[in-house]
Every structure is written in C-alpha cells, then in structure tokens.
Amino acid sequence: MSVAVRVEHLSKEYRLGVIGNGSLYKDIQSWVAKKRGKPDPWVPIDERSKIGRQHFWALKDVSFEVEQGERLGIIGRNGAGKSTLLKILSRITAPTSGVVKMKGRVGSLLEVGTGFHPELTGRENIYLNGAILGMKKADIDRNFDAIVAFSEISGEFIDTPVKRYSSGMFVRLAFAVAAFLNSEILIADEVLAVGDQKFQEKCIGKMRDVSVNEGRTVLFVSHNLGAIRALCQSGILLEHGILTMAGPVEEVTKRYEEELANG
C-alpha cells in the first residue's frame, strides 16, 4: 500500500495580536521576506523589537504518514493544533517549516462555509467545488443526484443561495460535496458536530464506505472519541502542537482518556 500523506518535521508559528495573520497570501509574503533576510512586512515597525514575545507555535516538528485507504483520527484538547494541521493539509495556510506530501486531490470539510460562495445556490456551489477539484462537468453531472439525495436538500432549496441555509443544511451539503466528488483524500473537522446525531452517523458510514470500497484516505478530527473509534483504524495525539503518540486508534484514544482523567 502506498503512502497518501507524508508529513515531515512540520511546524507552524503564529504571531499573537496580529490581526489577519495566517492567511496563505500573508504567509507567503512573510516567508519570502525571511528568505531574503528582510523584516517581516506584517509586523509593525514599532513592534519588531518585541517580536520574540509575540510568537506562538501551533505545531512543532510534527511527522507522520498515512497510507492510501487508511482512516486516521486526529485527537487532542482544544488548542492542541488539530485545526491548524488540517488547514495546512488542506492548503488553506502554509507551514512555517517542514514538508507535506499528498498523493491526489484533497476534499476538505473544515469550518462552515469553507469552499462555498454564499451568493451562489447549492447547485452552483456543487459545480464550483467540482471545478476547483479539477473535475469535468460530465463527472459532476454523474454525481449530482447522489450529492443532493445524501444531503437531504431538495426541491427549491438546492436552487437557493446558500447564505439562506441553516448551519445544519450547510454542513449536510458541504459534506455530501466533499464525499461524492472524486478527491483521493477526504479531510473532515469537528464541523460535523453541527449536524444531528442521525446525520453524523450517516457521515461516518459514508467515510468508511469511500475508504473501504474506493480506497480513499480519510483524516478525521473530533472530540467524540466514540466517533473516532467507530471510523478510524489509527490515530495521532497532539498536545500543545507536539505529536505525543501515534498508533492503533484504540491505544491512542485510551491514552488520551487517561490524560483527560488525570487533568
């Protein structure tokens, strides 16, 4: 089995108190300035002398591999670096250092609204996301009915601008798009918690299905350890941006539960 995701010595640094820091555009500008030995353009001149006190490492020297078709659970407390890791893997933000190698297209379901244009209808957003993944219109056409059926959004709502959707409707459509469009790697964050229990179970079943039957790789973040165990084969545990354990999901979740019990 080939490696679908390889993360090598990945680190991500943020500056506290800098509004808007962390976007890919600003990350690239900061990186170029650093390589050229010039001051960071996003640090105010009167603050550069205090830069050492403003830095925060969201991730520090994280390394792991995920095989094709594997389902990996990523767990840890709030602020452990889980969402930052997924944003880097989804190419929403750039790492400060380290390497990420991913084999195939990536379908991401992170914050509500990521990848969707609020003024476009549900139908238009399905085609927009397919185009972003590099799919042809004919391929999207073949998956369209399945996406709509899975999302349980039908009738006039599929042709309504998504800005009028409830958060639950938004998540249902976003997950269906990510799951049915042909990305080789599927990334899902805690955003699934917005949906009801029945739909969460439906999503977990679908992620297992695309992994087993289509060989797609799944990376899943959740505070619900039952959902992690139900879906994932392996897991990694993050603590303060550091990967502290990787292995079979039962062992990793047990270690995390012990840490929670000990405070």
Helices (H), the chain: 24-35, 82-89, 122-132, 137-151, 167-180, 197-214, 225-231, 249-261
Rounded to the nearest integer, the mean pLDDT of the chain is 86
* pLDDT over threshold 60, residue 66: yes
Residue 53: pLDDT band (50, 70, 90) is low
Largest CA distance in the chain: 59
What percent of the chain lies above the pLDDT cut of 90? 56
Domain span including residue 79:
3-261
* pLDDT over threshold 80, residue 72: yes
Q: SS3 for 4?
A: strand
* Separation CA 39–CA 46 (nearest Å): 12
| Highest mean pLDDT of the ranges 60-74, 85-99, 117-131, 156-170 | 60-74
Mean pLDDT of the 33-38 span: 71
Write the CATH number for 61: 3.40.50.300
Q: Nearest-CA neighbor of 195 among 178, 170, 219, 220?
A: 170
pLDDT, position 91? 87
* Separation CA 29–CA 138 (nearest Å): 38
Q: Which amino acid is at 107?
A: G
* pLDDT over threshold 50, residue 49: no
pLDDT, position 154? 80
Query: What total of structural domains would you count in the chain?
Result: 1
Residue 43: pLDDT band (50, 70, 90) is low
Q: Specify the residue for token string 């990848």.
A: 115
Query: Is residue 172 a contact partner of residue 152, using CB atoms and an 8 Å limit?
Result: yes
Q: What is the pTM of this model?
A: 0.79
* pLDDT over threshold 90, residue 141: yes
Range with the poorest average pLDDT among 19-28, 97-106, 198-207 = 19-28
pLDDT, position 109? 79
Instruction: Output 216 or 135, whichever has higher pLDDT.
Output: 216
Q: What is the pLDDT of residues 209-232, one digit of tens each?
A: 999 999 999 999 999 999 999 999
Bridge partners (DSSP) of residue 246 are 236
Query: Is residue 239 a contact partner of residue 94, using CB atoms and an 8 Å limit?
Result: no
Query: Is residue 12 a contact partner of residue 84, using CB atoms and an 8 Å limit?
Result: yes
Length of the chain in terms of residues written: 263
Mean pLDDT of the 197-201 span: 84
Instruction: Output 205 or 114, whichever has higher pLDDT.
Output: 205
Instruction: Output 171 or 240, whichever has higher pLDDT.
Output: 240
Q: Nearest-CA neighbor of 253 among 263, 64, 230, 240?
A: 230
Mean pLDDT of the 90-104 span: 92
Q: What is the pLDDT of residues 229-248, one digit of tens each?
A: 999 999 999 999 999 999 99
* pLDDT over threshold 60, residue 167: yes
pLDDT, position 62? 98
Structure tokens at 1: 């089995």
Query: Is residue 100 a contact partner of residue 180, using CB atoms and an 8 Å limit?
Result: no
